[in-house]
Structure 1
Amino acid sequence: MMSHSVQAMQPITSHDGDCEALQADRVAVLLVGYGEVQSYRDLSRYNQAATKYIAAQFVPIPEWLYPLAGWLLTLQDLYDFGIKHDHFMSPENEIFEKQRLGIETLLQNQWEKRAQVFKGFYFCKPFVQDVVTDIIQQGFQSLLIYPLLVVDSAFTSKIAVEQVNEVIATTTQSELRSSPFRSIRYIPGFATEPTYIDLLVRQMQERLHQPSVKQFFASQIGIVLTVHGGPAKANGLLTGVIDGQALYDRVQAQLQQKYPLVSIGWINHDMPFTQWSQPDLKQAAKNLIKAGAQTILFKPLGWATENFETILDVEDAIKALQRQYPTVTYTRLDCVNDDPDFLKIAAEWANPQIEAMLSVPQKERAQTNEA
């Protein structure tokens, strides 16, 4: 599709600077996600980071309280994961690596070794800051920040920019007079991207045509589209609720004419003095059951990978609903994960950004090197 661009952007091969030109013509694609700990010993550090970058935005928390807040949250997690859910370990990091490998393969089919895909997590290893430092040390002069989180807000994707800037500020002060990168670009959340929305709808329709669901009339099938909830107010910052609602509206619009019982279901982290988005998972399902739904399907819209929220929160809601409505059937569906169609779409979003960064004129490149 873009072969003419590939040909136009072959590395400069002057006899004086083959190696330098090849090094300059490389783009580091940084996939970023939350990440989830692979050892309960790391929970405290994870929760401290989450407190700093997320919780402190909508609940006033002095910085000196971060360690205590992290410890209290860790006690809760140890109970939830270790006792209540039989030593649960999230598959998120493993799935994220499959996404990284798949996207890199597709991008290198287009750009060969001029594009390399890295991964970094906000709250656990490999940390975004460490990965950016490694990218700088490897000599990449172009960085594409690519939050693989779907919903774009000050609490999600923008954390990546904040953490990248922390590294740039440190590097600039201690080693360089200017930014270590010639070019930095950013891929915003894709909650309103038509190709992603069509993929979600297609996955949903495939499930709706399976015998276990087709036994019900279409008007008896309840669909809860689950999106990450958020607080109503957050230090003047917009939360992901706006993008989450936009994502839901677009998917629902393609389903509701045939399947009228569709509802958003927010996965919330309820806490004192904070109003979160409604209806939550259980209330959304209850509303559909009261309208006559005999089966409920939970389809995640707000995540690219499975994690403790898409698994444990939904399963907990199902258990509670089963006790109250035992004749209704319930099904938890998967995220997009490493679906080849999703990886292809994700790689396509990166291509024009990579092309733009590799198209920096030779004169500008020389001026940057001289500086």
Structure 2
Amino acid sequence: MQFGIFTVGDVTPDPTTDRAPTEAERIRATVAIARKAEEVGLDVFATGEHHNPPFVPSSPTTLLGYIAAVTERIILSTSTTLITTNDPVKIAEDFSVLQHLADGRTDVMLGRGNTGPVYPWFGQDIRQAIPLTVEHYGLLRRLWREEVVDWEGKLRTPLQSFTLAPRPLDGIPPFVWHGSIRTPEIAELAAYYGDGYFANHIFWPASHTRTMIELYRKRFEHYGHGTPEAAVVGLGGHVFIRPNSQDAVREFRPYFDNGPVYGHGPSLEEFTSLTPLTVGSPQQVIDKTLGFRDYAGDYQRQLFLVDHAGLPLKTVLEQLDLLGGEVVPVLRKEFAVGRSPDAPDAPTHQSLLRARDAGTGPQTPQTPQTPGS
């Protein structure tokens, strides 16, 4: 099982000092956080994609390409690549280049985005979000898998005799996770292609996450990819850790109360009781995270948000020391206990290459012809 962190890249004033980092400081801090994640033994670093203030990761593959040069082992991913407003050709090119730079230690999480104005900025209509997702992803898969692509759809100009350059490393496209908070059609799309499904999981109660994952697993089996237990699932989460739980709550409260996402709504206590947010000691984080398996089943990737809402870099790095030193080693051990033999490991470039060479790689279903059939 893989453990890691993801960032949304917000530039938020620290509510205890009223100082906000500059954009340059925030970008450099993100690189430092990724390097620290590798140092403490985490498996994955992922960044979101945003095109509006107060966020800085408007070019995720540029950021990840730099991080690839200053790391050696950690898998580099996105926590959202906008499949709706980005052109599939450009996504295919960018991630192929990143694959080569990172020696294959990269994958991609696709999402629709939740910022309405972004769609017209990139020439798209938010009312077409689901059709854009389906059409763009169908093209993206072909670009990574076919030497010459002739394609015509409804929402993009046709392609004639197009060849992607560079081709994916070793002929293996990056593994794709489809990220979603609330949309069943995305779980359906992931199941149809046998891709991974990532439930963002930081805003919604366990009952909602259970419903979405059960839908994905059921449809994964329906499309002939294997048992429901063989489906590839990832979960998000948000933690703030201190050795003493009272200290964690006291220190994190101003960040929660003033955060651009959480602030000015339910109290910290209400939110932690209703959602996966965990603010407390290492043992409390361990206990709550282990409880995710009760409704998600055996899953493959767990990512935590640790740098949101204006937390200073020093505090974030301390979070990573606790996560890597006291939390994740226990989670690795405990999640292995009683794990279903049908539950696969999280895919990597090397595992996909081995499966391809052995003739056991995943196959896209030939029928039905469209997701949802």
The bucket for the TM-score relative to the shorter chain is 0.3 to 0.5
Give the TM-score taking structure 2 as reference length.
0.32
> What TM-score comes out, normalization by structure 1 length?
0.32
Higher helix share: 1
The structure with the larger Rg is: 1
